[in-house]
Amino acid sequence: MHKAESRTVSPAKGLHGEIVVPGDKSISHRAIMFASLAQGESRIRGLLRGEDCLSTLAAFKSLGIDVVEKADDELIIHGRGLEGLQEPTDVVDCGNSGTTMRLMSGILAAQPFFSVLTGDQYLRKRPMGRVINPLAGMGAKILGRDDNTKAPFAIDGGGLHPTEYHSPIASAQVKSALLLAGMQIEGTTTVYEPHLSRDHSERMLRSFGADLESFSGGVRVTGRVNLQGCDVEVPGDISSAAYFLVAGLIVPDSELLLKNVGVNPTRSGIIDILQQMGGSIELTNQRELSGEPVADLLVKSSHLHGIDIGGSLIPRAIDEFPVVSVAAAYATGVTTIRDAKELRVKETDRIAAMCETLGTLGADIEPREDGMQIVGGKALSGGRVNSFGDHRIAMSMAIAALASVTEIEIKDTACTETSFPGFWNLLTLISKDA
């Protein structure tokens, strides 16, 4: 559990410099998991050592996986294959990480042993039925709180059969959990989605040798194909880059170069949104790293305008909406975010949280059931806000402060360590007067 701490962020006079953001959180989680399920050695470079990914690492160590830590961001994982995991001797603690809990549910549901997953006070409130129910449809035996929808929950693994699942939501975590379960059993498992969710699992599983087929509207996996260890280079996290993209746009006289950022099209909605708002963001040095598209991003101060955001753009930017709402508050005109009900079941209700925090600072912002409406262009006044223990709210409010009239004090900021260790140092570095 974090100690609550507060930080005060002052307005900036211009942001300049080159930034390297930490490794992608989604890719780091999956690299640890898939390397553990593969046969032989995998070397992972650029790993995010945030608390969420460390929860995944600790979980697989508890399942008997040997890990050699070579450097701050490099690991060697000695995989044990699909049948090599060991029954944990204690409850597996997923910390604050929904990705850890949901993806491990799929892995452990197919393993022939007993396990229990739990997490911190925030994770134990988050909905797990969206993964547990379709896994139960494959024959999984999972028993949890609140009618099998909340952690902690116990998994009596094994005895699964393939499925065809039509997901009502575009969720990479649901999709990945079912693919990871299906990958371990005989037959073909198919997952259909209303919109394409992030495809890091599919890209990386193929590089480990899985038999996966993506098609319009879904993906299918054929089980019992042995994965083989391989090297993974983790690009910078676009969700972390998003804060500095918005900062560079809303603070006058700014120019920032963000190096080595993953620009996977299923994740790069934030770039599309900010460019549609009139933001100057240029992709340079475009290349591929371990199957993932990567680029350097050059961002310059811009006059933003409001836009309508919804539909297939939402799952491509779902984690970035707290900082998108900050950009909207500084943009001229009306920004509407719709089709984003998923924001209500993140680390906190991010619709309610951003409306409260930005509203406290003087923004004209109204919640909607599935999003919000923001009438931008009013100066934010500064003041005191709460992060609600949500790392993305805390960092978004820090970015809001850079262009506010007066400083903003943010309560409970230690939570940023879950996804972006070093955020505050980087913020200080680029905020110094040139």
- Position 187, amino acid: G
Decide if 319 is catalytic: yes
CA 83 to chain centre: 28
Quote the CA–CA distance of 61 and 5 in Å, as a whole number.
30
Catalytic residue among 52, 237, 296, 319: 319
Order of strands, edge to edge, in the sheet holding 39-45?
Answer: 66-71, 74-80, 39-45, 232-233
- Torsions phi, psi of 93, nearest 5? -95, 115
Paired residues of 372 in beta bridges: 337, 367
**What is the 3-class SS of the chain, one letter each residue?**
CCCCCCEEECCCCCCEEEEECCECHHHHHHHHHHHHHCEEEEEEECCCCCHHHHHHHHHHHHCCCEEEEEECCEEEEEEECCCCCCCCCCCEECCCCHHHHHHHHHHHHCCCCEEEEECCCCHHHCCCHHHHHHHHHCCCEEEEHHHHCEEEEEEECCCCCCCEEECCCCCHHHHHHHHHHHCCCCCEEEEECCCCCCCHHHHHHHHCCCEEEEECCEEEEECCCCCECCCEECCECHHHHHHHHHHHHHCCCCEEEEEEEECCCCCCHHHHHHHHCCCEEEEEEEEEECCEEEEEEEEECCCCECCEECHHHCCCCHHHHHHHHHHHHHCEEEEEECCCHHHHHCCCCHHHHHHHHHHHCCCEEEEECCEEEEEECCCCCCEEEECCCCHHHHHHHHHHHHCCCCCEEEECCHHHHHCCCCHHHHHHHHHCCC
What's the Rg (C-alpha) of the chain?
21
Pairing of strands 188-192, 150-156: unpaired
Query: 328: which 2 tokens?
Result: 């909207």
Active site residues: 319
